[in-house]
Amino acid sequence: MSKFKAQNLKAKIENALRGIMLALKAEKNVRIHVSIALLVVIIGLLLNIEAVKLCILLLTIGLVIIGEMTNSAIEFALDAMYKNKYSQLVKMAKDICAGTVLFTSVLSVIIGLIIFIPAIAKYI
């Protein structure tokens, strides 16, 4: 038997929203990614980017934010498990997580350039 009681859908959604808010409050990089994401979406709408391309942008933005939030969750968990003591294995895990965020960020920038350069070129 689990020590945690089963939660209804409302409680699960509240916990998830609390997690998003915690990530926004606690992690500067999440705030940066969300700010850039909003700017990219606004520019995409102003440039009348096609719906499919806008969806691709949203998916890449989502991957970056998911990566950043997952990175933060893993870092918090490892810090708690190791009581903030140094461990080479923890460092390796954190570096790999950071690499994941960097990889998805670079990929999203490349995708953004592929989508935005032709759209901007129409107005030049």
3-47 pLDDT, tens digit each: 777 889 999 999 999 999 999 999 999 999 999 999 999 999 999
Domain boundaries defined on the chain: 9-121
Report the Cα–Cα distance between both ends of the chain, in Å, rounded.
66
Q: What is the architecture, at CATH level 2, of domain 9-121? A: Orthogonal Bundle (1.10)
pLDDT exceeds cutoff 80 at 2: no
* pLDDT digit string, tens, across residues 71-110: 999 999 999 999 999 999 999 999 999 999 999 999 999 9
Type of residue numbered 98: A
Question: The whole model's pTM is what?
Answer: 0.87
**Mean pLDDT of the region 53-82:** 96
Q: What is the DSSP string of the chain?
A: --SSPP--HHHHHHHHHHHHHHHHHH-HHHHHHHHHHHHHHHHHHHTT--HHHHHHHHHHHHHHHHHHHHHHHHHHHHHHHTTT---HHHHHHHHHHHHHHHHHHHHHHHHHHHHHHHHHHTT-
Distance between CA atoms of 117 and 106, rounded to whole angstroms? 16
Confidence (pLDDT) at 9:
94
Confidence (pLDDT) at 5:
77
pLDDT exceeds cutoff 80 at 1: no
